[in-house]
């Protein structure tokens, strides 16, 4: 048997950490944490409450059994799936795992280390290894209080306030961008098309950056590459490679925010019979679940999971340590658990620990205990958790397909179009506002510049090509009344047909001095609801679209 290959250590990327975070020193109290947990010491150094005064001695959680994780979640949804229980008990200090493979309540309710419980961290590292591999020797994990906390802390780590510009897709998740802005960053768009972030434009933005007029050259790319929010795009693997190569060339850190990575789909099949056959074939590829997690083969399960849609992450190709990956349990377990993890090189993780020590402290103990218990071999194990994610993926794919079926049934394709998303929870709907009788396109004065359209100052960027929108080739710069019309349509749909969709303006990333009014003719719609709700909403949406265009 040949020895395992020696992995490279990550590059010295400390120059990407902002000056304020570089100077933060480890907490003396937190540094004492390991000593305080040493039961051989007669310690008078702590200040932790005594476990006997915790007013809870036992709590129970119910979960579907490992044997039921066959990729079909209908029984669980209907309340008929076989279940088992996790018992969290206060058994007294000294033992962190009881016979049921769960954390002791005496530990859960106590202060802990900022990086979370070791039992959970070990499982997260194993999940990373199975889903992404390991490409650097100092790969590390930091437990967060969910996706937003991870994004916020990463921007705090990297952004030099009032100096840095963060690059991102031309449409992106506004909450994350607001987090960057709150840390003192400016945000600048890179073109996105039906295949995700454009590496050619990424290279162009970096190579043509003028520091005398635009400020410091960007060293941070924030991207949602798989099931991009809001457009639903999924990047071909060659784009991942090309974008990573550009990041290497220009020394850029890739912040890979990937909450929808588990929800990758195969292509949409409009024939319902063929679709059912494909789903049956997909389920048949997964090894049947065993009676106990110790008998499972996580590597074989991960292989099926990884090959189903075959998207490989930036983390899986990161040989420099320049990828900071953000994962969450929100989409496959529940947002309220408020738990996720950041994967990065050891330097960045150590600095994130320092940030945590001065802000959120230890992640929620109950959430960590529950997730560690699910991942324990006493219950699901790592293999069982991947099986569950696979079942959730197939369920959301079925929801997407149902959405597209109903979209084709109710919505006139000549007025609104969409491209089937490759992952996530969203469809990006293009409204053909140019067909509206009141649509106007007005040439800009020579020199262009921002144009005031009512309450919105928008910009013109003919380089952005979201799904379903062909690249513009006109040389004449112009502005349109798209923003006004889409605002009117949004209100009409909401007030007259009780349908809520999110307009593109909620996600558009502006570019200084450029009018992008023509790029506001999109809505984001989710298919995360139940079939009845999707059916009614799309019927009303289609009716509203017809009525709005007809009234002129």
Mean residue pLDDT of the chain comes to: 86
> How much is the pLDDT for 516?
87
pLDDT in tens, 399-439: 999 999 999 999 999 999 999 999 999 999 999 999 999 99
Query: What's the CA dihedral at 223, 460, 195, 330 to 10 degrees?
Result: 40
Q: How far apart are CA 482 and CA 320, in angstroms?
A: 44
In a domain, 544, yes or no: yes
- Sheet with 416-418, edge to edge strand ranges: 416-418, 426-431, 522-526, 502-503
Judged against a pLDDT cut of 60, whether residue 42 lies above it is answered with: no
Establish how many alpha carbons lie within 13 A of residue 370's alpha carbon, considering only the half-sphere containing its beta carbon: 17
In a domain, 198, yes or no: yes
pLDDT in tens, 85-107: 988 887 654 444 444 455 678 77
Contacts of range 547-551, beta carbons closer than 8 Å, 24 or more positions apart: 547/492, 547/496, 547/497, 548/488, 548/489, 548/492, 548/493, 549/415, 549/435, 549/436
Tokens matching residue 325? 């990956």
Contacts of 221 (CB under 8 A, 6+ apart): 166, 167, 168, 190, 202, 243, 247, 252, 253, 254, 255
Judged against a pLDDT cut of 60, whether residue 33 lies above it is answered with: no
- Rg of the Cα atoms in the chain: 25
In a domain, 10, yes or no: no
- 123 vs 17: which has the higher pLDDT: 123
> How much is the pLDDT for 471?
41
Q: Average the pLDDT over 54-83 and give the result.
A: 89
Last residue of a domain, one of 329, 352, 376: 376
Same domain, 415 and 372: no
In a domain, 291, yes or no: no
With a pLDDT cut of 70, the percent of the chain lying above it is 86
Helix 147-158, helix 346-357: angle, nearest 10: 110
Q: Are strands 426-431 and 416-418 parallel, antiparallel or unpaired?
A: antiparallel
Q: What is the CATH number of the domain that holds 506?
A: 3.90.1150.10
Judged against a pLDDT cut of 60, whether residue 447 lies above it is answered with: no
Query: What's the CA dihedral at 377, 378, 381, 385 to 10 degrees?
Result: -170
Judged against a pLDDT cut of 50, whether residue 465 lies above it is answered with: no
Q: How far apart are CA 99 and CA 103, in angstroms?
A: 10
Establish how many alpha carbons lie within 13 A of residue 333's alpha carbon, considering only the half-sphere containing its beta carbon: 21
In a domain, 236, yes or no: yes
The total domain count for the chain is 2
Same domain, 361 and 432: no
Same domain, 125 and 170: yes
In a domain, 493, yes or no: yes
For 173, 470, 510, the CA distances from 456, given in Å and listed in that order, are 19, 25, 12
Same domain, 493 and 539: yes
Same domain, 344 and 438: no
Q: How far apart are CA 371 and CA 92, in angstroms?
A: 21
Same domain, 199 and 333: yes
| Helical H segments across 93-232, by residue range | 105-108, 118-132, 147-158, 174-182, 199-207, 211-214
Q: How far apart are CA 308 and CA 301, in angstroms?
A: 11
Name which of 498, 490, 462, 496 is nearest 478 in CA terms: 462
> How much is the pLDDT for 50?
62
Q: What are phi and psi of 252, to 5 degrees?
A: -110, 140
Burial of 49 (0-12, 13-18, 19+ CB in 10 A): exposed
- CA triplet 66, 72, 76: central angle to 5 degrees? 65
What DSSP state is assigned to residue 419?
Answer: -
Most confident of 26-40, 370-384, 466-480: 370-384
Judged against a pLDDT cut of 50, whether residue 450 lies above it is answered with: no
Q: Average the pLDDT over 25-31 and give the result.
A: 52
For 8, 22, 46, 260, the CA distances from 139, given in Å and listed in that order, are 10, 20, 31, 22
Q: What is the CATH number of the domain that holds 329?
A: 3.40.640.10
Last residue of a domain, one of 376, 395, 420: 376
Burial of 486 (0-12, 13-18, 19+ CB in 10 A): buried
SS (H, E, C) 100-126: CCCECHHHHCCCCCCCCCHHHHHHHHH
Specify whether the CB–CB gap between 492 and 548 falls below 8 A: yes
> How much is the pLDDT for 463?
37
Q: Average the pLDDT over 490-514 and give the result.
A: 93
DSSP string for residues in 516-531: -GGG--EEEEE--S-H
Same domain, 358 and 488: no
What DSSP state is assigned to residue 165?
Answer: E
Instruction: Please tell me the least confidently modeled range out of 254-258, 272-276, 463-467.
Output: 463-467
In a domain, 80, yes or no: no
Q: How far apart are CA 213 and CA 472, in angstroms?
A: 27
Same domain, 188 and 327: yes
Same domain, 175 and 314: yes
In a domain, 218, yes or no: yes
Q: How far apart are CA 157 and CA 448, in angstroms?
A: 37
Predicted TM-score of the model (pTM): 0.87
Same domain, 365 and 416: no
Q: What are phi and psi of 114, to 5 degrees?
A: -65, -25
Same domain, 430 and 506: yes
Q: Could you tell me the residue range of the domain that residue 249 belongs to? A: 114-265+309-376
Contacts of 550 (CB under 8 A, 6+ apart): none
Judged against a pLDDT cut of 60, whether residue 228 lies above it is answered with: yes
Same domain, 236 and 365: yes
Tokens matching residue 145? 């209080």
pLDDT in tens, 139-197: 999 999 999 999 999 999 999 999 999 999 999 999 999 999 999 999 999 999 999 99
Last residue of a domain, one of 376, 396, 420: 376
């Amino acid at each position: 048997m040949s020895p395992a290959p020696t992995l490279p250590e990550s590059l010295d990327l400390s120059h990407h950490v902002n000056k304020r975070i570089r100077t933060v020193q480890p907490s003396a109290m937190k540094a004492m944490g390991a000593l305080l947990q040493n039961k051989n010491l007669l310690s008078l150094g702590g200040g932790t409450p005594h476990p006997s005064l915790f007013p809870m001695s036992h709590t129970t959680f119910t979960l579907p059994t490992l044997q039921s994780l066959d990729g079909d979640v209908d029984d669980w949804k209907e309340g008929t799936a076989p279940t088992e229980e996790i018992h969290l008990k206060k058994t007294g200090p000294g033992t962190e795992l009881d016979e049921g493979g769960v954390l002791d309540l005496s530990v859960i309710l106590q202060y802990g280390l900022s990086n979370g419980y070791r039992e959970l961290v070990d499982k997260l590292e194993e999940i990373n290894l199975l889903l992404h591999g390991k490409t650097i020797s100092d790969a590390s994990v930091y437990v967060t209080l969910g996706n937003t906390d991870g994004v916020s802390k990463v921007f705090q780590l990297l952004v030099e306030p009032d100096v840095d510009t963060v690059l991102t897709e031309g449409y992106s998740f506004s909450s994350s961008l607001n987090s960057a802005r709150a840390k003192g960053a400016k945000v600048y768009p890179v073109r996105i098309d039906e295949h995700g972030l454009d590496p050619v434009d990424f290279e162009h933005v970096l190579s043509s950056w003028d520091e005398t007029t635009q400020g410091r050259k960007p060293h941070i790319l924030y991207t949602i590459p798989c099931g991009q929010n809001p457009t639903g795009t999924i990047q071909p693997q060659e784009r991942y490679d090309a974008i990573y190569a550009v990041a290497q060339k220009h020394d850029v850190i890739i912040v890979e925010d990937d909450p929808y990575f588990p929800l990758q789909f195969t292509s949409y099949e409009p024939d319902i019979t063929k679709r059912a056959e494909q789903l049956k074939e997909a389920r048949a590829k997964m090894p049947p679940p065993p009676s106990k997690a110790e008998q499972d083969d996580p590597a074989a399960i991960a292989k099926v999971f990884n090959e189903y849609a075959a998207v490989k992450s930036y983390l899986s190709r990161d040989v420099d340590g320049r990828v900071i990956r953000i994962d969450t349990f929100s989409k496959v377990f529940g947002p309220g658990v408020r738990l996720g993890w950041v994967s990065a090189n050891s330097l960045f993780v150590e600095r994130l620990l320092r940030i945590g020590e001065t802000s959120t402290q230890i992640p929620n103990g109950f959430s960590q205990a529950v997730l560690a218990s699910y991942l324990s071999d006493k219950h699901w194990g790592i293999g069982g958790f991947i099986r569950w994610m696979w079942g959730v993926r197939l369920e959301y794919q079925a929801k997407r397909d149902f959405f597209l079926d109903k979209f084709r049934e109710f919505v006139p394709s000549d007025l609104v179009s969409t491209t089937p998303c490759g992952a996530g929870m969203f469809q990006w709907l293009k409204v053909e506002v140019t067909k509206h009788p009141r649509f106007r396109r007005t040439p800009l004065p020579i020199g262009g510049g921002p144009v005031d359209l009512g309450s919105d100052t928008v910009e013109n960027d003919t380089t952005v090509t979201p799904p379903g929108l062909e690249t513009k080739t006109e040389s004449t710069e112009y502005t349109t009344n798209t923003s006004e019309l889409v605002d009117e349509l949004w209100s009409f749909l909401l007030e007259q047909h009780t349908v809520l969709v999110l307009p593109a303006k909620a996600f558009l990333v502006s570019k200084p001095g450029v009018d992008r009014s023509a790029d506001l003719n999109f809505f984001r719609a989710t298919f995360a609801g139940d079939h009845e709700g999707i059916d009614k909403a799309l019927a009303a949406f289609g009716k509203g679209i017809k009525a709005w265009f007809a009234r002129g």
